[in-house]
Amino acid sequence: MNILIVNGPNLNLLGRRDPAHYGTATMEEILEALRAEYPDDDIDYYQSNHEGDLIDRLHEAGYDPAAECDGIVLNAGGYTHTSVALADAVEAIGLPVIEVHLSRVAAREPERRCSLLGAVCRGTIAGLGPAVYTLAVEALHRLR
């Protein structure tokens, strides 16, 4: 499978930012473990702190035949709770998208408990630390 992992704002700081909520693993470590567990998959990674760049990457995955994307794992960070435009992009591309969150957002501040993406994603996995990425890849395999 060709899987795209898309991370939003501040997720470039994984391993350094607020380890109590996000853990100590870097995204490079998470990707290394994923690629080892799924050696037959092509796992591509994209991160941006800019909403429009995230939308452009989703459009590319959904509409560019050269992208050959079978599914997306999306951790939109803070945009999860604020971006109608990102939700519209997920809905428009027609690919299965699994929303993930390292922390248990339902137990956090009130503004983090609402996801604008949940209604347009195939599923949501949250609160299990780096395992959310592995579980999302597994879910994409099962949805195939």
Residues contacting residue 116 through CB under 8 Å, at least 6 positions apart:
80, 81, 82, 83, 84, 86, 87
Q: Return the amino acid letter for 101.
A: H
Question: What CA–CA distance (Å, rounded) separates 22 from 129?
Answer: 7
Query: Strands 97-101 and 42-47, how do they pair?
Result: unpaired
- Helices and strands per DSSP (H, E), number in the chain: 5, 5
Q: Which of 28, 1, 22 is nearest to 10 (CA)?
A: 22
**Which residues have CB under 8 Å from 27's CB, separation 6+?**
7, 11, 12, 14, 15, 45, 47
Active site residues: 22, 101
